[in-house]
Amino acid sequence: MAYDDLRSFLRALEREGDLKRIKAEVDPHLEIGEIVDRVQKAKGPALLFENVKGASMPLAMNIFGTERRLAKALGLKSPDDIADKIAGLLKPELPHGFTGVRDAFGKLASMTHVPPRKVKPGEAPVQEVVLTGEDVDLDQLPALFTWPKDGGSFFNLGLTHTKDPDTGVRNLGLYRLQRHDKRTIGMHWQIHKDSRNHAAVAAKRGEKLPVAIAFGCPPVVTYAATAPLPGDIDEYLFAGFVAGERVRMVDCKTVPLQVPADAEVVLEGWLEPDQLLPEGPFGDHTGFYTPQELFPALTIDCVTMRRRPLLQSIVVGRPPTEDGPLGKFTERFFLPLLKVIVPDIVDYDLPEAGGFHNCVIVSIDKKYPKHAQKVMHAIWGAHMMSLTKLIIVVDADCDVHDYQEVAWRALGNVDYSRDLSVVEGPVDHLDHASYQKFWGGKAGIDATRKLPEEGYTRDGGWPEMITSDPATAALVTKRWKEYGL
């Protein structure tokens, strides 16, 4: 089962001994960040800080810090559960016979519980307490000053809701939020993000943009906010698909948006066009500080919450961090979708050390000359995969998740005068290595076996890899205990 709200998941973790309550007073200025960074790098338990200095509510951290915990939060045994389900829905074959018709209708029936469902305000726990005007005080919420040169305190796991002023299509995004004062937060939505586009449309129309930010949402909703979905796919539809049940939503009190009824805290406000403030620096998931820049500043007009709320946040920095399991699940979930765009792909891996978007290792069943180069350019044209800086293409018999084997192929199978492709294109807003913002150099490495048609005309052709004699290997396996090794 997926969990209906954050607190029920925390109770489940505590029953299993996978949640640690910290009752001592802790400082959100550097101290919590240092604690969490050590625990998450050790693959330790989820943490609940019950006494955060200066705040009026507990703070839940490292909730998705292991793949096991994230799978449990989403009601899965492994991310392959959803990958297989997505692959099944994407199959284009027409049904054959009664069994095929029944299966097709089964797929349609399975989608009826996916769209979110609206509940009445009185049924929404997140609106048990409503604060407006001078009663709004963001200092009561535990924001983190994580790294020594951060430009202030940040909320790192607030789920930002906006909608396109032209089409009304909503977006759920995850952006860091700097607390400027008791009623103002900075909206760090980057150039490639949908919410930034919504703000630009509103500004062009001379209108304010309604914004709602939800904290402590049901785990499946929080995950959905991290997923790089195309702009026309509703994150709440995806959340319902993953959870196997509809997400409960409620109308906000002061803005025309809906938020999860079972969230812990929601901030509501209207973003004025051209209302900008310096935001950052911030120690980001790249492991480096991102510089101070001007970003939109949102005034909070209303806060709704549960009677005894708690907040959830995350620490990012040099990997490994809590980003790791989130990124790995996204990698697995979206393999079937990526195969629709690039059917040549057998498997792929997004290394956490590359921030997931800096590098992709992809395997193909090579069929013709320059097949690897075709796949590289297809990936650079596939939605947010366009931000990939390095693509390594290997043959289908290479395990893309075995970095030792990938390195062996990439370091030994490449003639860099022929097998290295260097291009220019868009890069992530946070990328510090490009010599200017938003675009830079990219590389593709063809580490596949080379064909004569590609110009590999040495005597004997491409050499055969060394492998054990199968009969001898089986014999040694059978007799292994006899050797006393």
Cα distances from 255 to residues 61, 165, 218, in angstroms, run 29, 13, 21
Q: 150, 234, 284, 349: which is the annotated catalytic residue?
A: 284
Distances in Å between the alpha carbon of 360 and those of 79, 87, 218, 336?
A: 18, 21, 30, 16
Supply 6's token pair.
């954050």
Q: Which two three-digit tokens encode residue 354?
A: 């590359």
The whole-angstrom separation of Cα 346 and Cα 80 is 15
Q: Is 284 in the active site?
A: yes
Tokens 């103002």 correspond to what residue?
A: 184
Q: Which of 297, 253, 314, 289 is nearest to 122 (CA)?
A: 253
Residue 311 tokens, joined = 């907040």
Strand partners, 174: 159
Whether residue 287 contacts residue 319, with contact meaning beta carbons closer than 8 Å, is answered with yes
Distance from the Cα of residue 56 to its chain's centroid: 29
Q: Which residues pair with 129 in a beta bridge?
A: 305
Closest CA to 447 of 403, 423, 415: 415
Cα–Cα distance for residue pair 240/348, rounded to 1 Å: 26
Contact 311, 264 (CB under 8 A): yes
* DSSP β-bridge partners for residue 177: 155, 187
Which residues are the active-site residues?
284
